[in-house]
A = this chain, B = another copy of it.
Amino acid sequence: MKTRLTTPGWLLGMLALAQTAAAQTPTPPPRQAAIADLVTANHILANEGVLDGYGHVSIRDPANPQHYLLARAGAPALVTAGDITEYDLDSKPVSNSPAAGYQERFIHGEIYKSRPDVVAVIHCHCLDVIAFAATGVTLKPMYHMGYFLGEGAPVFDIRRTAGITNMLIETPALGQALAQSLGKGSVTLLRGHGAAVVAGALHQAVGKAYYLNINARQQLQALQLGGKIAYLLPEEAARAEQNYERSWDFWKSRLPPLR
């Protein structure tokens, strides 16, 4: 602003303060926004029945691709920002955090190692896929919202890697074996356990986990109807990529008010 008189320094300072105050909703620092989004993802996945008391979701640290952010062990519905812990890709907590981490955090760390393109990882006991994993019937895309199944849906069987276990991916070696099963795709089932789902964005991962179950239900219905099933062709599936942002908005709006 031009003035005939020299603007005193103190006045300029006052004007700067006034401008700052006028920006009523300041943008949160990126890390804080990322953590808030991850907390919301936890709540959405629980509220929509993709996760129950078990399961977890992480994001690659936006500030450091060699780290990832994951809640400490607890039910996803109850996760708060204070639970979010930073891990290196060996799944060791970066801050000397006393809180217990998920036994299966190696699912996340090892996938982030093998997949530089992946920004979010979800582990669910996805109820509708258990039967597919148990019978070896391959999930395929029934409609465009399940497009990512066109990339394949391998089944990881822990027994081939480690013999008789408690079924949990609780070591780096097991996480690596799981990441190998995942390959370059969006999902791998785990026999007798659930699934791991990945994406290049958190909202997209949440959508994939949700529609994985919907697609499984529809495929079972189609197999019950019998006859030839017209799945999406691989080229159709590839073109039908979704970002699921509109679903995210819908699911976020359905979250119960915080108590």
Contact = CB atoms under 8 A, between A and B. Distances in A.
A112 interface: no
Given A164-B233, A229-B135, A53 B251 contact: yes
B227 A137 contact: yes
Interface string A194-234: 10000000000000000000100111111111111111110
A135 B249 contact: no
Interface stretch (A20-28, A60-68, A177-185, A240-248): A240-248
Nearest to A164: B235
Contacts of A218: 127, 130-131, 134
Interface size bracket, A side? 35 or more
A153 interface: no
Q: How many copies altogether?
A: 4
Interface string A13-52: 0000000000000000000000000000000001000001
Interface stretch (A3-11, A83-91, A115-123, A140-148): A140-148
Contacts of A75: 246-247, 249-250, 253
Given A240-B167, A250-B53, A127 B214 contact: yes
B233 A144 contact: no
Given A75-B247, A77-B254, A143-B192, A135 B228 contact: yes
A131 B139 CA distance: 14
B144 A167 contact: yes
A129 to B, nearest CB: 9
Contacts of A166: 144, 236, 239-241
30 contacts: A53-B247, A53-B248, A53-B249, A54-B145, A54-B246, A74-B249, A75-B247, A75-B253, A77-B254, A78-B250, A125-B143, A130-B222, A131-B222, A132-B225, A134-B142, A134-B230, A135-B226, A135-B228, A135-B229, A137-B226, A141-B192, A144-B167, A164-B233, A165-B239, A166-B239, A166-B241, A167-B232, A167-B236, A191-B230, A224-B224
